[in-house]
Amino acid sequence: MKVALIGVGQAGGKITERLAQFDANMGFGAVQGALAVNSAKPDLHSLEFVETKLIGADRVNGHGVGGDNELGTQIMQDDIQQVLGGLDGRITSRSEAIFVVAGLGGGTGSGGAPVLVHHLQRVYDVPVYALGVLPGRNEGTLYQANAGRSLKTLAREADSTLLIDNDAWHEQGESVQGAFDRINEKIARRVGLLFASGEAVEGVGESVVDSSEVINTLRSGGISVLGYASEIASDESDQNLRTVMTVARQALLTGTSMPDATSADAALLVIAGDPQAIPRKGMEKARRWVEDETDSMQVRGGDFPLETDRLGALVLLGGAERSARIEQFMKRAREANEAKAADEVDHADAFADDRLENLF
């Protein structure tokens, strides 16, 4: 699946760079172009592998929006023609989809990504998806409220929003920076393999997945979720029947980007590995299991030929917004938004006194 990537905000830029690097290092050729957009100049300077675009210079002078996603929305609206102009040559006739990548808790990403998706939908005749990262539970009220509003808008504007929960891949005892680096690496590997699954580069499988399978799975709209797991494979395909079932189960039940998200309108199961090691019976059995587990009649399946000693399973869920985990997050975001509104009072009222004059 040939894609163009546009990262918005600090997290969006870093993930976009990791995705572009992973694709280049693996030689997949799925990423056709990549651009990082931000209102904070230092965040753009830290990116070396992708082109960058500074927005809002006349409003915030390269210092970012400080978590104010309403200001992030305004800046993207004001500079949208500049951003679209920066995409020349990056979204080509070969691009089959556009992904707008953003952390949904900050200011520029959460505010600017929905605006950009809206305008891209008007300009380009290919699917426009969002890849959004939800803040963890401990990242503060502002980030929860920002993410709730951003996700609600993205779900309306994007053809599908591939959602990643920071808490899903966070490990106990990690530093904040260490956690973000490792999560970004996991995102790059999993999403990068999804992009590449329609770009078979090693060997010939019996039922190779192509980009239309990914697009048709995402056609359900709303929220999409991605799961992944892998195990060492045997050289003989008959000995990998149990391995295929194991990695499929792990990918859906313990390895998804939104834990506990198993109900979906459509699903795609991709088994990656040496074509000679992938058992046909195991592949079909795993596909039927995913069908039963997701309660979906639209479950596609196929191979991703890859030179490796492991067997991996990618499970893509489309139309997964019925997930209890997503409902829990939206409840948390609503509560955060209410708490944020309660804090927005004019504390100067406590000092109102007509006998005193203001300094200015």
Q: What is the DSSP string of 164-177?
A: EEGGGG--TT--HH
The arithmetic mean of pLDDT across residues 89-113, rounded, is 94
Q: What integer pLDDT is reported at residue 344 of this predicted model? A: 57
Confidence of residue 52 (pLDDT cuts 50, 70, 90): very high
The answer on 143 and 230 residing in a single domain is no
Q: What integer pLDDT is reported at residue 355 of this predicted model? A: 43
Residue 312: inside a domain: yes
The arithmetic mean of pLDDT across residues 59-83, rounded, is 96
Q: What integer pLDDT is reported at residue 204 of this predicted model? A: 55
Higher pLDDT, 12 or 173: 12
Residue 216: inside a domain: no
Domain encompassing residue 185: 3-196
The answer on 252 and 150 residing in a single domain is no
Select, from the ranges 198-202, 268-272, 341-345, the one with the highest average predicted confidence (pLDDT). Answer: 268-272
The arithmetic mean of pLDDT across residues 125-132, rounded, is 97
Q: What integer pLDDT is reported at residue 166 of this predicted model? A: 87
Residue 351: inside a domain: no
pLDDT at 206 over 80: no
Residue 129's beta-bridge partner residues?
99, 160
Contacts of 10 (CB under 8 A, 6+ apart): 38, 40, 43, 103, 106, 108, 109
Percent of the chain with pLDDT over 90: 72
Tokens (6 digits) for 293: 């587990």
Residue 292: inside a domain: yes
The arithmetic mean of pLDDT across residues 210-239, rounded, is 93
> CB-hemisphere CA count at 13 Å for 8?
36
Tokens (6 digits) for 177: 């920076």
Q: What integer pLDDT is reported at residue 314 of this predicted model? A: 97
Q: Name the amino acid, one letter, at 256.
A: T
The answer on 253 and 179 residing in a single domain is no
pLDDT at 201 over 70: no
Confidence of residue 88 (pLDDT cuts 50, 70, 90): confident
Total of domains in the chain:
2
211 with 305: CB under 8 angstroms?
A: no
Q: What integer pLDDT is reported at residue 171 of this predicted model? A: 65
Residue 201: inside a domain: no
Kindly report the CATH number assigned to the domain that includes residue 267: 3.30.1330.20
Residue 344: inside a domain: no
pLDDT at 285 over 50: yes
Percent of the chain with pLDDT over 70: 90
The answer on 34 and 148 residing in a single domain is yes
Confidence of residue 313 (pLDDT cuts 50, 70, 90): very high
The arithmetic mean of pLDDT across residues 128-133, rounded, is 98
Q: What integer pLDDT is reported at residue 347 of this predicted model? A: 46
As a whole number of angstroms, the distance between CA 339 and CA 315 comes to: 37
The answer on 137 and 8 residing in a single domain is yes
Higher pLDDT, 288 or 262: 288
Residue 213: inside a domain: no
Q: What integer pLDDT is reported at residue 177 of this predicted model? A: 65
pLDDT digits (tens, 9 = 90+) for 138-181: 888 899 999 999 999 999 999 999 999 988 876 666 665 667 88
pLDDT at 301 over 50: yes
